Chain A
Amino acid sequence: METTKTEVESADFENTHVEDAVEVPPSEDRVPRDHRETIGQLRVSDPRISCTDVNVYYGDKQAIYNVSLDLGKNEILAMIGPSGCGKSTFLRCLNRMNDTIDGCRVTGTINMDGLDINSKEIDVVPLRANVGMVFQKPNPFPKSIYENIAFGPRIHGLAKHKDELDEIVETSLKRAGLWNEVKDRLEQPGTGLSGGQQQRLCIARTIAVEPEVILMDEPCSALDPISTATVEDLMMELKEHYTIAIVTHSMQQAARVSQRTAYFHLGYLIEVGETGQIFRDPRHQLTEDYITGRFG
Chain B
Amino acid sequence: MNTLTFAGVLLVLSAIAYHLGRRRAYTVAGGELRKLHSLPSYYGLYTAIWCGLPALVLIGFWLAFENTLVTAMVVSDLPEALRSLPSERLNLVLNDLRNLAEGNIGPESVDPAIQAAAAHYNQLLQISHWAMAVVVLSVAMILGWYALTKVKPHQRARNAVEVVIKAFLILCASVAILTTLGIVLSVLFESLRFFTSVPPMEFLFGTVWSPQTALRADQVGSSGAFGAVPLFAGTMLISAIALLVAVPIGLLSAIYLSEYAHKKVRTIAKPLLEILAGIPTVVYGFFAALTVAPFVRDLGRSMGLEVSSESALAAGVVMGIMIIPFVSSLSDDVINAVPQSLRDGAYGLGATQAETIRKVIFPAALPGIVGGILLAASRAIGETMIVVMAAGLSANLTANPLEAVTTVTVQIVTLLTGDQEFDSPKTLAAFALGLALFAVTLVLNVIALHVVRKYREQYE
Contacts and interface: CB of A to CB of B under 8 A. Distances in A.
B175 interface: no
B349 interface: yes
Interface of A: 95, 97, 100, 102, 124-130, 132-135, 137, 139-143, 151-152, 155-156, 191, 202, 205-206, 209
- Size range of the interface on B? 20 to 34
A141 B350 contact: no
Contacts of A135: 341, 344-345, 348
Interface stretch (B213-221, B276-284, B356-364): B356-364
A100 B259 CA distance: 11
B349 A151 contact: yes
A95 B350 CA distance: 9
B146 interface: no
Contacts, number: 70
Given A133-B344, A135-B341, A151-B360, 7 more contacts: A100-B347, A139-B342, A139-B345, A151-B349, A152-B350, A155-B355, A206-B349
B346 interface: yes
A97 B363 contact: no
Nearest to B340: A100
Interface in B410-456: none
Contacts of A102: 263
A97 B348 contact: yes
Nearest to B339: A139
A125 B347 CA distance: 8
The 4 closest A-B pairs by CB, nearest first: A129-B350, A133-B348, A128-B350, A139-B341
B126 interface: no
B342 A128 contact: no
Interface of B: 263, 339, 341-352, 355, 359-360, 363-364, 458
A142 to B, nearest CB: 5
B355 A132 contact: no
Given A126-B350, A152-B350, A141 B360 contact: yes
A95 B352 contact: no
B350 A156 contact: yes
Given A141-B360, A142-B458, A206 B348 contact: yes
Nearest to B365: A142
A127 B347 CA distance: 11
B349 A152 contact: yes
A152 B343 CA distance: 13
B348 A151 contact: no
B347 A155 contact: no
A137 B458 contact: no
Contact of B349 (A143, A191, A205): A205
A209 B458 CA distance: 27
A97 B352 CA distance: 12
A209 B350 contact: yes
B416 to A, nearest CB: 49
Given A141-B364, A142-B363, A142-B364, A155 B344 contact: no
A205 B348 CA distance: 10
A124 B351 CA distance: 9
Contacts of B458: 142, 191
B359 A202 contact: no
A209 B348 CA distance: 11
Contacts of B355: 155
Given A132-B348, A209-B350, A155 B339 contact: no
B352 A125 contact: yes
A209 B350 CA distance: 9
A179 B363 CA distance: 26
Contacts of A128: 347-350
A130 B349 CA distance: 9
Contact of B350 (A134, A139, A143, A155): A155
A95 B339 CA distance: 20
A203 to B, nearest CB: 12
A289 to B, nearest CB: 32
16 contacts: A128-B349, A129-B350, A130-B350, A132-B348, A133-B348, A134-B348, A135-B341, A135-B345, A139-B339, A140-B345, A141-B360, A142-B342, A151-B359, A155-B350, A156-B350, A202-B345
Contacts of A97: 344, 347-348
A152 B341 CA distance: 16
A140 B404 CA distance: 52
Given A102-B263, A155-B359, A141 B348 contact: no
A157 to B, nearest CB: 11
Contacts of A206: 348-349
Nearest to A137: B341
B351 A155 contact: yes
Contacts of A95: 348
A146 to B, nearest CB: 14
A155 B341 contact: no
B366 to A, nearest CB: 10
B425 to A, nearest CB: 53
A209 B347 CA distance: 13
From A142, A143, A156, name the one whose CB has the most chain B CB atoms within 10 angstroms.
A142
Contacts of B342: 139, 141-142
B262 to A, nearest CB: 9
A246 to B, nearest CB: 15
Nearest to B338: A142
